[in-house]
Amino acid sequence: MLKSRTLELYMKEHLSFYIFVGVVFVTGVVFGAVMVNALSIEQREEIARYLGNFFSSVHQGALDGEGAGSFREAFGMHIKWILLIWLLGISVIGLPLILILDFLKGVLIGFTVGYMVGTLSWKGLLFALVSVVPPNLVLIPVLLVCSVTAMAFTVHLVKNRFISRQGALYEPFMRFTGTMVGSAVLLVGVAGLEAYLSPVMMKWVTPMLLTVSGS
């Protein structure tokens, strides 16, 4: 009962933040997908050549035995993103920059999936499902929670320092930092998916993509 009340109170206080961040992220996804149509013929050909080489490398086992290195690289990239959100959260001017990060993350995902589907049709969708979707099923909610927590702390910080000047910052700061630490633990699983599961699934679908890319 206590947990349900705590969750209800949390959602009541943060629902508007989640809606706003969600809209920003989805807007980024749509913008990224639309960007695909703005590519020139030369840019499309360059990306197609890169993808063809990548598919060939995956099919030939280039990713085999690279799990540990890929894990470190993926985890390092994600933890830097979380650390940046944490740093922005403890700064007064960090709120709009957090929203920009969420928008850019949406753009990256929208562009990647949009290009794959627009160029390779259902086979591109299949590749996106095995390479992009699995880690992002965990990563996106983690980033959204971190962003909302950071924004809420920033708002609390502004109210405390410039408006009411009341209330201790220690407890909200520890909750904020604890959320970041918990998110970092979840990122271990995300990096594991990217390093060990996604390469196996990509190797499974690349033979079909090679026939499309002409490699």
Which residues have a Cβ under 8 Å from the Cβ of 192 and sit 6 or more positions away? 71
In which band, very low, low, confident or very high, does the pLDDT at 25 lie, cut at 50, 70 and 90?
very high
60-87 tens-digit pLDDT: 766 666 677 888 888 999 999 999 999 9
Of residues 164 and 147, more confidence is placed in 147
The answer to whether 107 touches 32, Cβ cutoff 8 Å, is: yes
Of residues 30 and 117, more confidence is placed in 30
Per-residue pLDDT, 64: 62
Give pTM, 2 decimals.
0.84
As a whole number of angstroms, the distance between CA 139 and CA 133 comes to: 10
- Extract the tokens encoding 73: 């690289």
Average pLDDT over residues 16-21: 92
> Mean pLDDT highest for which of 50-59, 62-71, 90-99, 135-144?
135-144
Mean of all residue pLDDT scores within the chain: 83
Per-residue pLDDT, 122: 81
As a whole number of angstroms, the distance between CA 56 and CA 17 comes to: 43
Q: Is the pLDDT of residue 13 over 70?
A: yes
Per-residue pLDDT, 2: 41
Query: 10-14, 37-41, 112-116, 118-122: which range is least confident on average?
Result: 10-14
In which band, very low, low, confident or very high, does the pLDDT at 6 lie, cut at 50, 70 and 90?
low
Per-residue pLDDT, 166: 56
Q: What is the largest CA-CA distance in the chain?
A: 66
Which residues have a Cβ under 8 Å from the Cβ of 157 and sit 6 or more positions away? 90, 92, 169
Per-residue pLDDT, 7: 62
- The string over 169-200, giving b where at least 16 C-beta atoms fall within 10 Å of a residue's C-beta and e elsewhere, is eeebeeebeebbeebbebbeebbbbbbeebbe
